[in-house]
Structure 1
Amino acid sequence: MDTSERPVLVGVDGSASALQATSWAAREARRRAAPLRLVHVYHLTPVRHPRKVTPPPDYHAAVLDQGRHWLTEARETAHRSVPDLPVETDLHAGVPADVLITESRTARLVVLGSRGLGGFAALLVGSVAVALSAHGHCPVVVVRSAAPDGGPVVVGDDGSELSDAALTFAFDAAAARGVPLVAVHTWLDVNMAGTWTLLPDTIDWDWLQAQEQKRLTERIALWKDRYPQVHVRPVVVRDSPAHALLDYAASAQLVVVGSRGRGVFAGLGLGSVSQTLLHHAECPVAVARTERV
């Protein structure tokens, strides 16, 4: 499928969170001149019974009717946000996370609410959102709450190739919205600070700060030529990545991170910084990655 034809995909489950994600996704689809695709995945839980009891046909019909109703509700929500937006709806049987991961192969972007109807109240982000952020084949945005349109886009950069995808996504987002981009780079994670303070006279902190600032400035320059209209504010702080990004995300309309960092867990699907942002940032969080096929 041509990239320009790929839709913005939304997982719909009847929750208020999913409707909020639908509204956000409709506006994003308009910015990208892309169609919107609403997908509801229903899963008929097997009945464990010694006589192999099969759910009655009317139960299956009720589940389908419920799914169709939720899709209609989401389509109406999308059209309230963007009246003329092309919207497609689709009803799938299967495990929601598995189906949406497969569907992400042909999507430009997947948008999810932070927690659906089936989630536990104590969880800040549902399992489907975490699974898609870790294993999706395109960028994933998790929408917890609406953020002010005038806020900046914030992106975390650790200098790795995975941050390249985050920077590209963030520059695109800032350019489409006409807002500044805050590029945040941290050094000397606070988890290590206690050890380093044992050697206060052997470390030139100002020199280290200047070196990190230089690295970030050089990296940003690689994107500035492609996005001359975007005003970039580079921020280098001596702090943990998650803590610093949460601080800047508080006033942002979107925060963007890579799928994994450079740490010891780089082989896992989702890094600790990404997970922290998903669970605690109030604004929408985009987990960007290079598309996998």
Structure 2
Amino acid sequence: MTTAANQTAVVAGIDGSETALGAAQWAAEFATRHALPLTLLHAIPKLDWHFASADPPAEFPRSADGDSALATAETAVRSTHPDLAIRTAAVKGAVATALSDASQSARLVVVGTGAADHRALGGHAIRIAHRTHCSVVVWRQPVARRTGKPLPVIVGIDESDASTRALAEAFDIAGMLHAPLTVVHMWEIGAAVGMGDLGGQGFMDWELLDLLQSRQRQRMDDLVAPFARKYRNAHVTKIFQDISPAKGLTDLSREAQLVVVGSHGRGKLADSILGSVSQNLIHHAECPVFVVR
């Protein structure tokens, strides 16, 4: 477990959508596994209406609708996790701000993608993932269907320190879900060792390519080895591909139940800025995405 001492709850964002219910159920399973309480949180944005008689749009429900959404989510979660400690809360404020505030004392924040037909996700989920102080799961229904065996958990790793944290979460969650784990290292090697063009007039340093591939594979083995020893029952597959990480992981997500990646923040706001791969996956993955901080 990687739970910090001050991280005391799993928080699920509730907005009345079907994906929010799915996110709440996923969060409940995670909370149960880690012996943590679950908080179901509904944010009520402060609106400044120009016309008192105007009705608020559907994406900004009134508090009564929020209470109903919370009650529905709590009932659904209790039906599958009757012994789980559950707290519900409705707070006034912007959705991303409310969940960012809650994340300061959370182990994990879990949110749904919203409408089922909202394929290129933006809006709240991206802002939430940018601003949380802990790891975040953006939940959507996987497109893949189980055929007798659990779908795999996919984890993408690279040269960053975040890879160790991502691996730790991925091994833990794969055990929680009784699922096989696929560890993936994707790196566009050709760009680093050659100057070839579409006309074939460039060159490729094949010896350097072989050396870099060998070093990357060894790095992958070294990262995985301590976790494989700890989780001796884990079924682990390693994939090493010369492909864009964002595209490769998105392709694999079509046959997975979860993709795990590091946040890869950079600069002065490293803790609150997503890297290009994690942000791309939040937009385009075909299953839930776990962004590890």
SS in 2 for 1:225: helix
Letter in 2 for 1:282: E
Which residue of structure 2 lines up, in the alignment, with residue 136 of structure 1? 132
Which of 213, 218, 225 does residue 214 from structure 1 map onto?
Answer: 218
**Maintained 8 Å contact 2:258/2:289:** yes
Which residue of structure 2 lines up, in the alignment, with residue 259 of structure 1? 263
Letter in 1 for 2:216: E
Which residue of structure 1 lines up, in the alignment, with residue 185 of structure 2? 185
Offset at 1:257?
0.4
Offset at 1:48?
4.1
Offset at 1:196?
4.4
Which of 9, 13, 16 does residue 14 from structure 1 map onto?
Answer: 16
Which residue of structure 2 lines up, in the alignment, with residue 85 of structure 1? 84
Instruction: Find the aligned partners of 2:195 and 2:7 in 1 and give their Cα distance.
Output: 52
Residue-by-residue CA offset, 1:88-115 (whole Å, 9 max, x unaligned): 1001001110110010011111110012
For 1:117-266, list aligned pairs within 5 A.
124-146=120-142, 148=146, 150-188=150-188, 195-196=195-196, 198-200=202-204, 202-260=206-264
Letter in 2 for 1:29: A
Which residue of structure 2 lines up, in the alignment, with residue 275 of structure 1? 279
**Maintained 8 Å contact 1:7/1:35:** yes
Instruction: Find the aligned partners of 1:249 and 1:227 in 2 and give their Cα distance.
Output: 23
SS in 1 for 2:195: helix
Offset at 1:126?
3.8
Offset at 1:54?
10
Per the normalisation by structure 2, the TM-score is 0.83
Which residue of structure 2 lines up, in the alignment, with residue 113 of structure 1? 112
Aligned residues: 277
Per mean C-alpha deviation after superposition, the further-off stretch among 8-17 and 181-190 is 181-190
SS in 2 for 1:252: coil
Offset at 1:18?
1.0
Tell me the percent identity. 38
Which residue of structure 2 lines up, in the alignment, with residue 103 of structure 1? 102
Letter in 1 for 2:30: E
Distance 1:158 1:46, change over 3 A: same
Instruction: Find the aligned partners of 2:224 and 2:118 in 1 and give their Cα distance.
Output: 39
Residue-by-residue CA offset, 1:37-83 (whole Å, 9 max, x unaligned): 1000101311347xxx7999xxxxx9222211111011112123323
Per the normalisation by structure 1, the TM-score is 0.83
- Alpha carbon RMSD of aligned pairs, Å? 3.1
Which residue of structure 1 lines up, in the alignment, with residue 25 of structure 2? 23
- Structure 1 residues not aligned, in runs of 5+: 57-61
Offset at 1:211?
2.2
Instruction: Find the aligned partners of 1:243 and 1:283 in 2 and give their Cα distance.
Output: 14
Offset at 1:29?
2.0
Instruction: Find the aligned partners of 1:4 and 1:173 in 2 and give their Cα distance.
Output: 21
**Maintained 8 Å contact 1:190/1:239:** no
**Maintained 8 Å contact 1:9/1:38:** yes
